[in-house]
Amino acid sequence: MLRISLSSGCRAGQVLLFIATTLGFGWQANAQRADLNAVTAAEDAFGTTTGHQSIGLYSLNDARGFNPQQAGNLRLEGLYYNQTSPYLNQCLVRDTSIRVGIAAQSVSFPAPSGVADLHLHAPDGETRSSLVANFGSFGERGALIEGQSALGHDLSVLGCVAYERNFFNDEARKSQNLTAGSVMRWRPSSTTEVTPFISVSAGNDSHVVPQVYSDGYQPPPVYVPQELATGDYSKQNWHFATAGLIVRQAINDRWMLSLGAFESHEQDGLTYIEEYLSVLPDRSASHTVDIVPALTSNVLSGELRLARRTVDGDHSRKIELSLRGRNSRREYGGDALINLGPVTLNSPAARDIGPYSTSPTSEDTTQQWDTAISYEERFAGRGSLALGLLQSHYQRTIQDPGTLPVSDRTTPILGSARLTLNAGPQVTLYSSFLQGLEDAQLAPTIASNRGQPPPATRTHQVDGGLRYAPDQNLTFILGGFAIDKAYFNLNDATRYTQLGTIKHQGLESSTTWSHSGYTAVAGAVWLRPSVMREIPEAGATGTVPLGPTPLTLTLNLDLAPPTWSPWAAELQVNRHSGGVATTDNRWHLDPVTTLNAGLRYEVKWHERAISVRLDLQNATNSRGLRLSSVGQLLPEQERRFGLYLAIDN
């Protein structure tokens, strides 16, 4: 694993800027980073991320109230992908889209909790370079240099280096990370494409902001993370590495072979996690420091897919065979817990945490291999029907120190059916039924079995709705869904385990409109979660679980008419209704509305595309809270600004 020292973070940023200005500007102009725009790139309002921008109702860790990434539903260039870290590499990943509803109809082997579709920053044979620099509130700084060039008529390569500083400003007072990555694309023939990639990241943070947890019985107080005291001892460091190979081979005009093979490795140093437990309305809490020993994890994942497609006039058939899987090994546990006694959210930081000793760690080994087949019929202008069948072979083995291994095994057969029907030239109806075997969230730090992964469990989803597109500039989507999953939380002994089942029912909508430089993306999701407990949850008598937001509204505007050139503006309004604040459902959180605004200046100068963007987030400085499923408080971010400069050459 690559180890990089970041003791001279400021100098590292200066070095990146020096390299960019001295080496990066001799190449021909061709936009790459300067024109990234999540609003204009979005196909719907269900979640799009590109560059520094994220819009939409959903994200990698929240889709219809569940976590697609934690569930194991990542796809990289359409192929099954699993990674150890929850963070995406900005040198590798160009954009991310959340595929639910009608958008999931085009996904091979979709998943009940939604699919997060990732795409690489891949070279295209042109010679070009980009520089991105940013700074913002609370000392945030960053710089990225990217260049690509052809090494021959059939081989091109992209290289990227990025440095970030103080990017976790609501999670740590100081943080820094250095990333390097490279993507190659080799096209030895018109029917073959080979794309290898590799990236490494190393970083650390200090003065980590305490995690605050509700007691579950009384409504929690609103607070600002920046106002919490942080100890000199609280710190962590990490090293990530990701490598992969994607191969696509057109065997003939009917057969296509796709292969994706990926490895992800993570190594975390000794980590100090401060926790304020059972916070009360008067802001009092119990202060605990969780010291996590150095841990490593590694996962191999990938997919081999063979597809055959035939076309007969306006009728096409496609059959796909897939073999996909993962083999992961991760360490967890061994924590040392130090109780520092009662505090308030206004208390100063502890000066000393005293002696401690970590213990031997546990190991989780998970193997999963899926074989699947899908058959699809499409009739142009009329609709489509797809049926799928997947056989999963899953085994998870837990090895605790001084005990015999304990294994969970399951081999379910999972089915799926998808249907679209054109009810006219402007209206498409859709419906689907999906079954899956999905992971749940790791046991939180407040659990007695902290860090332990629960076994994968069966999930199923039904959804349906319509898409109305009266013209090429306007699209409206309305759909409903119901998802059933296993419910995991803390039992009376604070052990994180399956307590019953949970169902999320809801309605979701998306409206996209674009005309003459004006673009609007708006969406809403109404969510009705309910839980049925078979094992008691401490103090939980309500049927609505903590975590999900009942109503979310979003409106995103990009204003760039030709008469404004070179200026453009952005506006984003988000509203989250108040979910339940206590496990007996007696108290609810207050709703919160945030306003984000942006101003851009885009120009061509000596064949270089230059973009300067000023973003203001939470302009009204709205205060509010959301809760995780285990009661962790998630405050709304304070008002902040970010200034971004991007130059493409």
pLDDT tens for 560-587 read: 999 999 999 999 999 999 899 999 999 9
- Residue 501 CB partners (closer than 8 Å, separation 6+): 484, 485, 486, 487, 531, 532, 534
Parallel, antiparallel, or unpaired: how do β-strands 518-533 and 496-515 relate?
antiparallel
Cα distance between residue 261 and residue 299, in whole Å:
11
- Residue 569 CB partners (closer than 8 Å, separation 6+): 558, 559, 560, 597, 598, 599, 600
The whole-number pLDDT of residue 19 equals 34
Cα distance between residue 311 and residue 300, in whole Å:
36
- Residue holding tokens 């979701």? 508
Are 376 and 317 in contact by the 8 Å Cβ rule? The answer is yes
Task: Quickly state the pLDDT bin for 609 (edges 50, 70, 90).
Answer: very high
pLDDT > 50? residue 21: no
**What is the residue-averaged pLDDT of the chain?**
91
Are 130 and 645 in contact by the 8 Å Cβ rule? The answer is no
Q: How far from 114 is each of 33, 70, 467, 482, 522, CA to CA, in Å?
A: 28, 11, 18, 12, 19
Sign of CA dihedral 445, 451, 452, 455: positive
Side chain identity at residue 484, one-letter code: D
The whole-number pLDDT of residue 268 equals 95
| 5-12 LR contacts (CB < 8 Å, sep 24+) | 6/176, 6/177, 6/178, 6/202, 6/203, 6/204, 9/163, 9/165, 9/176, 10/165, 12/163, 12/176, 12/178
Write the DSSP symbol of residue 71.
H
The whole-number pLDDT of residue 51 equals 84
Query: What percent of the chain is predicted at pLDDT more than 70?
Result: 95
The whole-number pLDDT of residue 252 equals 93
The whole-number pLDDT of residue 84 equals 85
Half-sphere exposure (Cβ direction) of 122: Cα atoms closer than 13 Å: 19
Strand order in the sheet with 53-55: 53-55, 48-50, 93-99, 115-120, 74-76, 79-81
Task: Quickly state the pLDDT bin for 641 (edges 50, 70, 90).
Answer: very high
The whole-number pLDDT of residue 28 equals 34
Parallel, antiparallel, or unpaired: how do β-strands 155-165 and 633-635 relate?
unpaired
Q: How far from 11 is each of 143, 144, 167, 505, 508, CA to CA, in Å?
A: 12, 14, 17, 51, 47
Q: How far is CA 310 from the centre of its chain?
A: 35
213-242 average pLDDT score: 93
* pLDDT single digits (tens) 487-498: 999 998 899 999
Q: Write out the two tokens for 200.
A: 């490494």
Cα distance between residue 103 and residue 520, in whole Å:
19
Side chain identity at residue 556, one-letter code: N
Are 362 and 337 in contact by the 8 Å Cβ rule? The answer is no
Q: Higher model confidence: residue 332 or residue 24?
A: 332
Parallel, antiparallel, or unpaired: how do β-strands 640-648 and 128-136 relate?
antiparallel
Q: Strand, coil or helix: what is 296?
A: strand
* pLDDT single digits (tens) 266-308: 999 999 999 999 999 999 999 999 999 999 999 999 999 999 9
pLDDT > 50? residue 25: no
CA diameter of the chain: 76
pLDDT > 80? residue 135: yes
The whole-number pLDDT of residue 16 equals 37
Spans of all domains in the chain: 9-648
Whose CA is closest to 348, among 205, 225, 231?
A: 231
User: What are the two backbone dihedrals, phi and then psi, of residue 17, each rounded to the nearest 5 degrees?
Assistant: -65, -40
Sign of CA dihedral 480, 62, 364, 288: negative
Cα distance between residue 93 and residue 117, in whole Å:
10
The whole-number pLDDT of residue 591 equals 96
Q: How far is CA 318 from the centre of its chain?
A: 30
350-373 average pLDDT score: 93
Cα distance between residue 362 and residue 174, in whole Å:
30
Q: Write out the two tokens for 115.
A: 């699919």
The angle subtended at Cα 566 by Cα 564 and Cα 571, nearest 5°, is: 65
CATH number of 9-648: 2.40.170.20
Half-sphere exposure (Cβ direction) of 455: Cα atoms closer than 13 Å: 15
Q: How far is CA 244 from the centre of its chain?
A: 19
> Picking from 2-16, 95-109, 206-220, 596-610, which range would have the lowest pLDDT averaged per residue?
2-16
Sign of CA dihedral 88, 91, 93, 95: positive
pLDDT > 80? residue 8: no
Half-sphere exposure (Cβ direction) of 373: Cα atoms closer than 13 Å: 3
User: What are the two backbone dihedrals, phi and then psi, of residue 106, each rounded to the nearest 5 degrees?
Assistant: -95, 0
Side chain identity at residue 267, one-letter code: Q
Q: How far is CA 449 from the centre of its chain?
A: 25
Q: Judge if pTM exceeds 0.85.
A: yes
Q: Rounded to a whole number, what is the distance in angstroms from the first to the last CA of the chain? A: 33
- Residue 170 CB partners (closer than 8 Å, separation 6+): 209, 225, 226, 635, 637, 638
Q: Higher model confidence: residue 88 or residue 636?
A: 636
Are 198 and 182 in contact by the 8 Å Cβ rule? The answer is yes
The answer to whether the bond into 566 is cis (omega within 30° of 0) is yes
Q: How far is CA 478 from the centre of its chain?
A: 24
